[in-house]
Structure formats: C-alpha cells, structure tokens
C-alpha cells in the first residue's frame, strides 16, 4: 500500500486547500467541496476485502495528522470533517477505526473547547457523532510498532507549509516599518490636537498613550515566551534518561545486589536441620569455574551405597548395621524379640475336672 500513499496525500491536500480558500469552518461549505470532487469514490478501486481494509487503514492514517497542531484551526477542522466523511463512506464491514494516541487526545479536546468558545457548533456536532459511533481507536503510539522493523520518522513526507500556523505570525504582521509608521501617526495626531485646541482637554484621548512602547514590550514578551516554550518541548521530547541519571541508577542497582548477596535467608521449618551458609561473590565465581558444565548426576543406588557406608563407619560396635534399612530384617528381629507365652497345665486340669 506504500504506492498509494503519495496520491492520497495529494488528493487530501487539494481538498483541504479548497476548503481553506473558503475562509470558513462551516460543514456546509466542506460538504459542497466533497460532493463537487466526489471524494467518496476513493474507496471504489479495490475489490478484494483484504486490500480494501488495508487501503482504508492507510487513508485514515494519512488524514489523522491534519487533526493536530501545528496546523491552523481551519485545517484542523477540515481534517475532522474529512475523517468523518472517510469513516462513514468506507466499504469495510466492520468499519476501520481512526487510530489516535492517548497523548494526542488532549489536542482534540482543546480543539473542541476552542470551537465552543468561538461558537462553531458544527465542529462539536461532528466530533460527538464520531464518539457516539465509536470511530476512534485509542492506542499507546500513533503508528503500529513491530519487532525489528525500522521506525518511520516522517521525514520522507512533505508537509504543505500553507496549512501551518506559524508561531511568528505577530512578528510578520507587526514589523519595524509598521511600528515606525504608528509612531509617526501618533506624533502627527498629538500635533494636530495642539494646533486645533488652544487649551486641549486632558480627557480628550482618542488614542492610547504610549502605544508604540507598549506594543514593543508585548512583542518582546511574546517572543520570549515562544523561545522558552520551544526549549521546554525539546527537553520533553528527549528519549531516555541522561548520563548522570543512568549512572545513579546503575549505582543503586549495584548496591541492592551487594546487599542481597550479603544476607542469609532464614530457612523454613521443614528445612531447619540444614544450616544456611553465606556464599560470597568470590566463592560463587570459584564454584562456577571449578564445577564442570556437564557434570553427571549420580544414580540413586550409588548415593544410597555411599550413605550406608558412611553410616557403617560411624556406628561402632554394631555388627549388622547395614541391615537396618531392610524392612524384612526389621520384622525378623522384632519377631525374635517377642517372648513366648507358656502353656498352663494346672489351669487345663481344673477345667477338665469341672
């Protein structure tokens, strides 16, 4: 679908450019342009269901950036109208949703608030319809991320500068020549007022006093705010912690590991007969180096024989210590140790006599 990306961008920019020329944010004006160029026929090219869904996902992903800054308010409104039209005219069932990152949703809410303040209720109505239709798919990232895939940074896409809202618009409108002209007009007004009135009324001030110095101060304040705001955004856009924070984190992890290695865990009640031993890092490295990787585990028979030999060496004076583990020998010894009950002849004779 990459071959369709540039033509789709061209068509969307042509539609938004014609909407910008109307100098209006009414949905009626946008709908007239939509019908004039028959923009809904953009989905009529693909007949396969999979290609149709992939193309719808591509078109929505191309139009979504027009909804956010740094585009002007009119272009952002046009992008919202365009998403509304594309979402309702797509041929997929179920419909493909508009992917929006959670960090960008605040800009959408700010656009709605600006439209309410300016009484542009068309924008609010379209946004409410999209929300009621569950047209948005809220995600963590604006574009899908894949494992071992190169991330697209968007540098290959050429943005239309006419749609941007330049932050230096005040500097472009209020230039040095304009300020000088305002100062000359203000001085000429003061001279005319003195020439007309012999004793000018102090309350007769149709123009604000000290207009040019106040305008210069306002421009300087606004430029300083823009500079500080841009620096703050650049600091927030940095990825990952600084080197100093990384070194602090590494030192903290090292201290936690050293403390955990230096503590002996208390054994449970079922394993209290085994003594806990403190194993240092040097001992662990030594045992790790000396022990072979593929050491063969001894069989149960071999371990039993070794354990019995140890018991036999410890038990001094027992002649038959190796037979203690045999159940049959234990039964014989217990049977031999029992006392035999003797037969009572006198009691037998008395019973016969009776």
For residues 243 and 257, the answer to whether their CB atoms sit within 8 Å is no
> What pLDDT sits at residue 281?
46
Reading the block at residue 121, the tokens are 């209720």
> What pLDDT sits at residue 239?
42
> What pLDDT sits at residue 266?
53
Question: What phi and psi values does residue 148 have, to the nearest 5 degrees?
Answer: 60, 35
Domain, as residue range, for 199: 170-230
Domain assignment of residue 25, yes or no: yes
Q: How many domains does the chain have?
A: 2
Indicate whether 179 and 209 sit together in one domain.
Answer: yes
Reading the block at residue 187, the tokens are 């001085």
pLDDT digits (tens, 9 = 90+) for 335-347: 555 555 566 666 6
Indicate whether 176 and 29 sit together in one domain.
Answer: no
Q: b/e for 42-69, b at 16 or more Cβ within 10 A?
A: bbeebeeeeebbbbbbbbbbbbbebbbe
Indicate whether 38 and 119 sit together in one domain.
Answer: yes
Domain assignment of residue 312, yes or no: no
Name the DSSP letter for residue 69: T
Domain assignment of residue 346, yes or no: no
Instruction: Give residue for tokens 């500097």.
Output: 171
pLDDT digits (tens, 9 = 90+) for 144-195: 877 766 555 444 456 676 777 666 566 666 677 777 888 888 788 778 877 7
CA distance 143 to 122: 29
Indicate whether 189 and 64 sit together in one domain.
Answer: no
Instruction: Give residue for tokens 């140790």.
Output: 337
Indicate whether 81 and 205 sit together in one domain.
Answer: no
> What pLDDT sits at residue 324?
47
Q: Which of 230, 245, 267 is the last residue of a domain?
A: 230
For residues 87 and 79, the answer to whether their CB atoms sit within 8 Å is no
* Residues in the chain, pLDDT under 70: 46, 148-159, 161, 165-174, 197-208, 226-227, 229-247, 257-296, 312-354
Indicate whether 58 and 196 sit together in one domain.
Answer: no
CA distance 313 to 311: 5
Reading the block at residue 216, the tokens are 């210069």
Indicate whether 194 and 128 sit together in one domain.
Answer: no
For residues 116, 19, 136 and 101, what is the CA-based torsion angle, rounded to 10 degrees? -90
> What pLDDT sits at residue 12?
92
Name the DSSP letter for residue 143: S
CA distance 53 to 234: 37
Indicate whether 158 and 188 sit together in one domain.
Answer: no
Domain assignment of residue 280, yes or no: no
> What pLDDT sits at residue 15?
94
Indicate whether 220 and 121 sit together in one domain.
Answer: no
Indicate whether 183 and 154 sit together in one domain.
Answer: no
Indicate whether 151 and 177 sit together in one domain.
Answer: no
CA dist 325 → 155, 308, 318, 321, 338 (Å): 80, 9, 14, 8, 21
Domain assignment of residue 207, yes or no: yes
> What pLDDT sits at residue 69?
84
> What pLDDT sits at residue 254?
76
> What pLDDT sits at residue 299?
82
Indicate whether 8 and 156 sit together in one domain.
Answer: yes
The count of residues in the chain is: 354
């Amino acid at each position: 679908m990459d071959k369709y990306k540039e033509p789709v961008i061209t068509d969307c920019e042509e539609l938004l450019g014609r909407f910008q020329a109307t100098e209006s944010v009414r949905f009626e004006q946008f709908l007239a342009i939509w019908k004039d160029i028959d923009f809904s026929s953009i989905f009529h090219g693909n007949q396969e269901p999979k290609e149709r869904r992939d193309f719808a996902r591509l078109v929505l992903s191309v139009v979504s950036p027009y909804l956010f800054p740094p585009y002007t308010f009119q272009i952002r409104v046009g992008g919202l109208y365009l998403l509304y039209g594309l979402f309702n005219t797509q041929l997929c069932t179920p419909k493909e949703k508009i992917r929006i990152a959670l960090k960008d949703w605040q800009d959408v809410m700010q656009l709605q608030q600006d439209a309410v303040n300016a009484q542009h209720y068309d924008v609010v109505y379209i946004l409410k319809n999209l929300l009621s239709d569950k047209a948005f798919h809220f995600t963590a990232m604006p574009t899908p991320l894949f494992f071992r895939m190169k991330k697209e940074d968007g540098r290959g896409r050429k943005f239309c500068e006419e749609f941007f809202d330049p932050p230096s618009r005040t500097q472009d409108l209020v230039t040095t020549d304009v300020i000088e002209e305002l100062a000359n007009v203000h001085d000429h007004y003061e001279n005319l007022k003195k020439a007309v009135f012999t004793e000018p009324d102090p309350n007769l001030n149709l123009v604000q006093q000290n207009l040019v110095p106040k305008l210069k101060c306002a421009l300087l304040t606004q430029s300083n705010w823009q500079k500080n705001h841009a620096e703050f955004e650049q600091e927030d856009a940095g990825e990952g912690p600084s080197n100093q924070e990384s070194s602090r984190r590494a030192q903290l992890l090292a201290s936690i590991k050293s403390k955990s290695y230096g503590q002996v865990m208390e054994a449970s009640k079922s394993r209290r007969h085994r003594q806990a031993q403190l194993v240092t890092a040097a001992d662990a490295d030594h045992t790790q180096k000396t022990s072979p990787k593929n050491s063969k585990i001894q069989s149960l028979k071999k371990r039993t024989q070794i354990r019995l030999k140890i018991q036999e060496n410890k038990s001094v004076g027992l002649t038959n210590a190796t037979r203690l583990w045999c159940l049959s020998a234990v039964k014989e010894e217990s049977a031999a140790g029992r006392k035999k009950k003797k037969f009572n002849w006198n009691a037998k004779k008395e019973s016969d006599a009776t």
